[in-house]
């Protein structure tokens, strides 16, 4: 099974540029076109939050248009920039978005890897939270299928990254999440967003990873008190390949990097 992860799309109404700089709509179009050219084709696409910039209906209407060329199952979840109700209104066919009345969290059992999405959003705030109600749901949901290899999808990663201004809007309740995840060894990975760059950390007996954005990246600056800057480094997405035993992650970089070249010199294989 091939899981394609995209995250932090930050679509704005009228195709306006994020922060006056980033053409998030155009960059998502580039990403969707690249996914469409993949061979083998991903079985599913998951989008781990900050789908739009202000949680508005007109932003979600544009998001829906931009994602329409993806013809594989698509699973969305909210980040701190999203609006739960507007997200649900924009994708009425995605019945799983309404599986839980209070939060946008759900389990998908249609694929070789089980997808469990949890909602870390705190409306009106940048940081995330996993309150006892959400953790109890996760524990119960994971307990229902202990033998199913599972990835947990969430927006805020459950660890400090060292990028100070992002850690200030990190995840509250990560200790409780660690206790839940440690009880369920079928969790192959926590797939996260929010940080706009590829990051990985060991967490509660599994791995928590962050996917880059197809638009802007958070500046890699580990100095204390760093400013909250973004950079236009090469954008990307991730492919998570499950071969029945191991989940392997590849980070794909978007852009035109020229043709492929064989590992040969003067007709001889160079190894
Ligand atoms: Fe974001
Ligand atoms: Fe975020």
Domain ranges of the chain: 2-256
pLDDT of residue 269: 76
Chain segment 117-134, per-residue pLDDT in tens: 999 999 999 999 999 999
Q: State the ligand closest to the CA atom of 218.
A: 1
Chain segment 38-59, per-residue pLDDT in tens: 999 999 999 999 999 999 999 9
In angstroms, the CA 31 to CA 255 distance is 9
Q: Give residue 58 CA to ligand 1 midpoint distance, Å.
A: 18
Q: Give residue 194 CA to ligand 1 midpoint distance, Å.
A: 5
pLDDT of residue 266: 80
Q: Give residue 78 CA to ligand 2 midpoint distance, Å.
A: 9
pLDDT of residue 185: 98
- Residue list, CB under 5 A from ion ligand 2: 50, 79-80, 194
Q: Give residue 64 CA to ligand 1 midpoint distance, Å.
A: 18
Q: Give residue 181 CA to ligand 1 midpoint distance, Å.
A: 24
Q: Give residue 264 CA to ligand 2 midpoint distance, Å.
A: 44
Q: Give residue 126 CA to ligand 2 midpoint distance, Å.
A: 7
Q: Give residue 245 CA to ligand 1 midpoint distance, Å.
A: 31
Yes or no: say if 184 and 152 are a contact pair by the CB < 8 Å rule: no
Q: Give residue 51 CA to ligand 1 midpoint distance, Å.
A: 8
Q: Give residue 268 CA to ligand 2 midpoint distance, Å.
A: 49
How many Cα atoms occupy the beta-carbon half-sphere of 191 within 13 Å? 36
pLDDT of residue 100: 92
Select 2-256's CATH number: 3.40.140.10, 3.40.50.300, 1.20.1050.90, 3.60.21.10: 3.60.21.10
pLDDT of residue 271: 65
Q: Give residue 48 CA to ligand 2 midpoint distance, Å.
A: 9
In angstroms, the CA 13 to CA 19 distance is 13
pLDDT of residue 268: 81
Q: Give residue 140 CA to ligand 1 midpoint distance, Å.
A: 29
Q: Give residue 52 CA to ligand 2 midpoint distance, Å.
A: 10
Q: Give residue 138 CA to ligand 1 midpoint distance, Å.
A: 23
Q: Give residue 165 CA to ligand 2 midpoint distance, Å.
A: 12
Q: State the ligand closest to the CA atom of 155.
A: 2
Q: Give residue 195 CA to ligand 1 midpoint distance, Å.
A: 7
Q: Give residue 8 CA to ligand 1 midpoint distance, Å.
A: 4
Residue ranges in the chain whose pLDDT is less than 70: 270-271
């Amino acid at each position: 099974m091939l899981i394609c992860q995209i995250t932090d799309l930050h679509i704005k109404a009228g195709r306006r540029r994020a922060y006056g700089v980033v053409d998030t709509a155009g960059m998502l179009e580039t990403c969707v076109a690249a996914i469409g050219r993949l061979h083998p084709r991903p079985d599913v696409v998951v989008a781990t939050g900050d789908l739009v910039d202000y949680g508005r209906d007109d932003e979600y209407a544009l998001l829906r248009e931009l994602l329409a060329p993806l013809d594989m199952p698509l699973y969305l979840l909210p980040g701190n920039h999203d609006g739960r109700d507007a997200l649900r209104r924009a994708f009425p066919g995605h019945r799983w978005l309404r599986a839980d009345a209070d939060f946008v969290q759900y389990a998908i059992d249609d694929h070789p890897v089980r997808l469990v999405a949890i909602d870390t959003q705190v409306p009106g705030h940048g940081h995330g939270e996993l309150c006892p109600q959400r953790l109890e749901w996760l524990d119960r949901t994971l307990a229902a299928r202990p033998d199913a290899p599972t990835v947990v999808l969430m927006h805020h990663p459950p660890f400090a990254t060292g990028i100070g201004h992002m850690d200030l809007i990190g995840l509250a309740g990560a200790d409780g999440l660690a206790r839940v995840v440690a009880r369920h060894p079928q969790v192959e990975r926590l797939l996260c967003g929010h940080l706009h760059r590829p990051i990985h950390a060991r967490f509660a007996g599994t791995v928590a990873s962050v996917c880059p954005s197809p638009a802007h990246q958070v500046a890699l600056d580990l100095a204390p008190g760093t400013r909250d800057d973004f950079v236009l480094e090469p954008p990307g997405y991730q492919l998570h390949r499950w071969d029945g035993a191991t989940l392997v992650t590849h980070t794909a970089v978007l852009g035109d990097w020229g043709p492929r070249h064989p590992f040969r010199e003067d007709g001889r294989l160079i190894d």
